[in-house]
């Protein structure tokens, strides 16, 4: 045990020493310790913040620090041994947190603080933390009879196992598929895509050019391959991942897992007196009820659909002009790119040389400095999980260290697809008055550096990086001293995307682009003509892209609102119904969209995918203030820092938004920003 790096009290995880064999022994030891300390807490008679809430935060913070490292390694280095060790810990962790949330004595202890004299003297953040804890106790079934509590526990454990299996199936089915192309079959592929395909082939010891279902590979073929048969092949493989059909049919099939997950979620919701999982999910969000969410989404669809239909008609006419009588799903990205080149005189590949990853990072850090007065510098010698991972420190204007973060930018085998920010450590004020510095993980899946040249990003990649960096700043710039409300903790899920989507705006501003959009060889800025084309592309098919997001949000929310286990093929019917409603582009009837929808079946977005659009409304309105005052206006930047980023989950996000903006958000700013009105 003494040699287990997970049990050593280090400031940062010893990622270079942690092995799968360390996972379970560390978790068992920490769980035993946490249970004993919690039991000791409950031997007191008069409970206060200092003798219950603060020490209880400390107990769980230590456990979560270790679990975060394990969870993170399973996502970024998901080798068979890592996965197996992680899976052995998952039921133990799930059992512990459900057991804690159902602990009647602990619930009563927290509740007793609200009725004592001291409660009046607690600050608003402390009161919010206690009230949210009481809410979460109730949502976990603390008031249920013993038999139903045990059922809730079993269901929660099984749900965690199923969600993890869902994610593993998506990863395995994605990694199992690849396509090898001859020189003739690479027609249309730009230089960057060819370099990526060749590097993949060399790595796998194969001839020609090799492409996989990792997003950079998939995007290259679906967007640029002149061979429709190749596009169709990779599209179907991607659209049928982890399902009953397609090239890996039945091998990693999520069909039954989806049904089981939906069934369990509904059972859990009903156990604690909700009608469905959508209502249960909203108990911790800004949106008050399902009607408000559906009205919000349907209103946006109503406003955006007419423009989306015009864009669709334009794309179909363009494809027809090039000889395609009927546009297929695997044609859409290809002809969107070609139409963009003709209409806007812009190809996404033309921009790559101007977005080398290191340069984009440095420009992003400069923008953060101008807005918030912070300085970001790399620190070497920090233990990491892969040689390409870098570590950075953030200091405020007085040169005080306020946060740290890891960056893992490139795609590789055994790493989950997508991009995300996750917490490694949360800020808190320690007993001696010192501040525990928050730490974040920032993860992307960009094409790695190839053949001696840097990783060249697309403009979309740059947007993704800025997005995740926004989450990162939200977590590490917090000034809240309590771990339960610092950073992204305690922030409603439909508000958590505000800082991330907000940061994307600077990727569309000429004065911001000057800081980082420079040719990686010549250091020349984007030529004015190309820059004008890029800025014009902000509105290019914006309605189409928004409708895609609204479609996913409606599918997610409706299945969690309407799912009933006795109804057959319900998921399929809901998807078909929504496709019919938002029928603006051709769809693949055999698509298994839900089977790889990790956001809602293995992430935290169940009945909450609408959060992206909800927060985008907040983001667009918030950025309008910078458009009014100047995109680098320090005073406005400080207001955003003090009212949003530093406040974490310490206050209702609508109150914080109104403090910054002076009014409640409206969808007009979002529609205007996207050129829809």
Residues labelled catalytic: 468
CA dist., res. 127 & res. 149, Å (int): 27
CA dist., res. 367 & res. 358, Å (int): 14
Contact 335, 319 (CB under 8 A): yes
Please return the burial class of 497, using the count of CB atoms within 10 Å of its CB with bins 0-12, 13-18 and 19+: buried
β-partners of residue 178 are 212
Contact 144, 271 (CB under 8 A): yes
Nearest partner of 162 among 602, 607, 609, 603, judged by Cα: 602
Q: Residue 401: what are its φ and ψ, rounded to 5°?
A: -65, 120
Neighbours of 204 (CB within 10 A): 12
Largest Cα–Cα separation, the chain: 81
Contact 444, 343 (CB under 8 A): no
Ordered alpha helix ranges (H), 20-79: 20-41, 54-76
Neighbours of 310 (CB within 10 A): 13
Ordered alpha helix ranges (H), 421-541: 459-476, 498-504, 510-516, 528-536
Q: Residue 135: what are its φ and ψ, rounded to 5°?
A: -60, -45
Neighbours of 85 (CB within 10 A): 20
Contact 437, 402 (CB under 8 A): yes
Angle between helix 80-101 and helix 146-176 axes, rounded to 10 deg = 160
Nearest partner of 481 among 358, 660, 328, 648, judged by Cα: 648
SS percent in the chain: helix, strand, coil, step 5: 60, 10, 35
CA distances for 386 relative to 10, 171, 389, 454, 465, angstroms: 19, 19, 6, 18, 19
CA dist., res. 559 & res. 82, Å (int): 33
Neighbours of 201 (CB within 10 A): 18
Neighbours of 368 (CB within 10 A): 24
State the Cα torsion 426-430-434-436 to the nearest 10°: -20
């Amino acid at each position: 045990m003494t040699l287990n790096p997970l049990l050593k009290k280090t400031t940062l995880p010893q990622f270079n020493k942690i092995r799968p064999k360390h996972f379970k022994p560390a978790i068992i030891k920490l769980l035993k310790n946490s249970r004993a300390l919690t039991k000791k807490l409950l031997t007191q008679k008069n409970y206060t913040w200092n003798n219950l809430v603060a020490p209880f935060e400390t107990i769980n913070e230590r456990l979560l620090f270790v679990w975060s490292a394990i969870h993170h390694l399973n996502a970024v280095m998901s080798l068979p041994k890592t996965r197996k060790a992680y899976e052995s810990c998952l039921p133990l962790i799930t059992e512990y947190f459900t057991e804690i949330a159902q602990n009647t004595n602990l619930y009563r202890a927290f509740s007793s603080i609200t009725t004592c004299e001291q409660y009046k003297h607690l600050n608003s953040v402390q009161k919010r933390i206690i009230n949210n804890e009481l809410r979460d106790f109730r949502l976990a079934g603390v008031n249920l009879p013993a038999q139903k509590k045990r059922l809730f526990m079993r269901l929660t454990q099984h749900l965690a196992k199923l969600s993890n299996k869902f994610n593993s199936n998506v990863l395995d089915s994605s990694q199992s598929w690849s396509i090898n192309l001859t020189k003739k079959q690479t027609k249309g592929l730009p230089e960057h895509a060819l370099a990526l395909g060749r590097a993949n082939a060399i790595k796998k010891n194969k001839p020609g050019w090799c492409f996989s279902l990792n997003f950079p590979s998939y995007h290259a073929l679906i967007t640029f391959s002149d061979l429709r048969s190749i596009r169709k092949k990779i599209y179907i493989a991607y659209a049928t991942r982890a399902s009953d059909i397609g090239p890996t049919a039945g091998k990693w099939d999520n069909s039954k897992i989806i049904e089981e997950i939906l069934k369990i979620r509904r059972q859990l919701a009903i156990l604690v007196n909700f009608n469905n999982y959508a209502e249960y999910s909203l108990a911790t969000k800004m949106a008050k009820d399902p009607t408000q969410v559906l009205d919000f989404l349907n209103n946006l669809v109503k406003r955006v659909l007419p423009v989306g239909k015009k864009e669709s008609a334009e794309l179909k006419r363009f494809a027809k002009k090039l000889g395609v009588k009927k546009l297929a799903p695997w044609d859409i990205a290809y002809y969107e790119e070609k139409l963009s080149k003709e209409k806007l005189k812009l190809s996404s590949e033309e921009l790559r040389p101007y977005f080398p990853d290191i340069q984009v990072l440095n420009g992003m850090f400069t923008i953060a400095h101008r807005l918030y007065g912070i300085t970001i510098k790399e620190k070497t010698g920090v233990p990491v999980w892969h040689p390409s991972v870098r570590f950075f420190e953030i200091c405020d204007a007085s040169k005080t260290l306020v946060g740290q973060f890891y960056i893992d930018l490139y795609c590789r085998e055994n790493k989950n697809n997508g991009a995300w920010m996750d917490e490694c450590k949360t800020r808190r004020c320690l007993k001696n008055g010192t501040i525990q510095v928050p730490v974040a993980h920032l993860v992307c899946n960009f094409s790695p550096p190839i053949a001696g040249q840097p990783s060249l990003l697309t403009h979309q990649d740059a947007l993704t990086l800025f997005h995740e960096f926004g989450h990162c700043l939200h977590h590490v710039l917090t000034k809240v001293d309590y771990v339960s409300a610092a950073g992204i903790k305690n922030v409603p899920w439909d508000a958590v995307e505000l800082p991330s989507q907000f940061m994307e705006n600077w990727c569309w501003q000429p004065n911001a682009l000057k800081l980082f959009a420079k040719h990686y060889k010549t250091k020349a800025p984007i030529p004015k003509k190309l820059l004008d084309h890029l800025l014009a592309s902000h509105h290019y098919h914006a309605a189409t892209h928004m409708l895609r997001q609204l479609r996913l949000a409606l599918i997610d929310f409706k299945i969690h609102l309407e799912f009933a286990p006795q109804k057959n093929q319900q998921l399929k019917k809901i998807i078909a119904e929504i496709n019919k409603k938002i029928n603006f582009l051709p769809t693949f009837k055999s698509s298994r969209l839900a089977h790889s929808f990790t956001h809602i079946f293995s992430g935290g977005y169940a009945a909450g995918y609408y959060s992206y659009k909800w927060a985008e409304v907040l983001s667009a309105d918030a950025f309008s203030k910078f458009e009014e005052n100047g995109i680098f206006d320090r005073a406005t930047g400080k207001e955003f820092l003090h009212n949003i980023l530093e406040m974490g989950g310490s206050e209702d996000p609508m109150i914080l938004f109104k403090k910054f903006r002076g009014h409640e958000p409206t969808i007009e700013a979002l529609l205007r920003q996207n050129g829809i009105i």
